[in-house]
Structure 1
Amino acid sequence: MDKSGQQDKVCVIPARKGVAARVRKGQIVTVINTHGSQVVDTWAFCANDVTEFMSMEHSRGAMLKLNPKVGDTLRSNRRRPMLTVVEDTSGGVHDTLIAACDRYRYEQLGHAGHHDNCTDNLAAALSVLGLAPPETPSPLNLFMNIPVGEQGSISFEAPVSEPGSHVSLLAEMDIVVAFSACPQDLVPVNGAACVPTDAHYRIDDGAPRI
């Protein structure tokens, strides 16, 4: 980091894996869909108490919408502001409905044996920082395309984002942010080819730089 505390490089979220980082209030987290088709499960935890975490159900109640847009704030399970969307060049299609994938999801889809999953990725990412999630909160699924039909039906579709597009989020408190480059390869949420890829993130002070 430079003298201002700004992170001086773009960091990788490896395909099928997770990472976590500490973010100070007022910093900007930019998540980049490097190849255009990768869903990034995103979580935030209060830096001082990980039992307070970004909650999709509380956020939907505050936003009065399913899909956060620029200016919308994601809230914690204690209804406090955690992350505000300040820029989005990805087409603005994200998901707040679908739970993080886990071993049981892949078993349900017919996969036998181990499969990388976002639930394990979250636990592994936080463990690097000496933390453990109190549970696996429902994530903000950046770039995930889950259309809701007129009769309330949903479907799993490919992202609409383009390579290099991004979402920037303003930290409203000191947090630990965690990401998983979703390893789903049995339904086309990561594009028609069902091939998970790397994504990237950056943490900056002040306004977004991209």
Structure 2
Amino acid sequence: MTSAASTSSPADGFTRMAPQTGTGFLLRAGQVLTVVDPTGVQVSDFFAFSAEDHGEWLSSGRTIDYGNKVYFTTGDLLYSNRSRPMATIVEDTCGRHDFLLTPCSQQTFDLLYPEFEGAYHPSCFENLCLGLEQFGVEPDEISTTLNIFMNVWTDETGELHIDPPTSKAGDRFAVRAEMDLHVGLTACSAEKSNGGVCKPIDYAISD
């Protein structure tokens, strides 16, 4: 699904992912990945493995445990399942991201969205699988993603709520790799997570 705003070109040095797509790439230690929401109100799912050993991956649980919080921003470390820093957040102009929910999948739409039950729907899980298969990553190895710009909150009962992202056009989120990483990145496919319309995501890698 596209929007009129998605026809604009990415900034110089950036690559644009079309709505409901994804990619995979090598991010070397010391390099910075910058993710930009070019039109506003759009989520990007991020997941990573150690390039040397796919038995080491980005861990929501370890990161939440060591940070003692569920919202992460500039200066925070993202940890692996082996308790090693994988990446450091070095820029964040939005301030609200989710590290609780798994990437949307075909099963997500079948189970949670009756209007899509039984019909194919693009998903972040599928796009992560496609982006990371070049590195030999198997689907079952992909776990909970860092959902950049996603607006998830809990009420006093602990129930989760998903509101439209608070990101505005041009908001940025950047991480510096602390080890060589195989990264999967998406322009999220779930309409509900993106204010009802799926839009593009821009990204760039710099030294």
Q: How many angstroms apart in 2 are the aligned matches of 1:126 and 1:100?
A: 14
How far is 1:118 from its partner?
1.1
Matches within 5 A, 1:1-210: 9-90=13-94, 92-108=95-111, 109-110=113-114, 111=116, 112-127=118-133, 129-133=134-138, 134-185=140-191, 187=192, 189-191=193-195, 194-205=196-207
Residues 171-208 of structure 1: CA deviation (Å, up to 9, x unaligned):
111111111111112x2x101xx111110111111xxx
**Pairs aligned (count):** 192
Task: State the AA in 2 paired with 1:96.
Answer: F
How far is 1:62 from its partner?
0.9
Q: How many angstroms apart in 1 are the aligned matches of 2:36 and 2:135?
A: 26
Q: How many angstroms apart in 2 are the aligned matches of 1:96 and 1:24?
A: 23
Specify the SS of the correspondent of 1:61: helix
Specify the SS of the correspondent of 1:59: helix
Q: How many angstroms apart in 2 are the aligned matches of 1:202 and 1:131?
A: 23
Specify the SS of the correspondent of 2:154: coil
Unaligned runs of 5+ in 1: 1-7, 206-210
Task: State the AA in 2 paired with 1:204.
Answer: S
Unaligned runs of 5+ in 2: 1-11
How far is 1:150 from its partner?
2.5
Structure 1 pair 195–136 and aligned structure 2 pair: CA distance change class (3 A): same
Residues 28-54 of structure 1: CA deviation (Å, up to 9, x unaligned):
110001111111010011011122110
Q: Scaled by the length of structure 1, what TM-score is found? A: 0.88
Task: State the AA in 1 paired with 2:136.
Answer: L
Residues 107-148 of structure 1: CA deviation (Å, up to 9, x unaligned):
111113111111111110012x34223522100000000012
Q: Is the 8 A contact 1:13 1:179 kept in 2?
A: no
Instruction: Calculate the aligned-residue CA RMSD, in Å.
Output: 1.3
- Could you say which structure has the higher helix fraction? 2
Identity %: 34
Q: Scaled by the length of structure 2, what TM-score is found? A: 0.89
Task: State the AA in 2 paired with 1:34.
Answer: P
How far is 1:13 from its partner?
2.1
Q: Is the 8 A contact 2:132 2:183 kept in 1?
A: no
Partner of 1:5: none
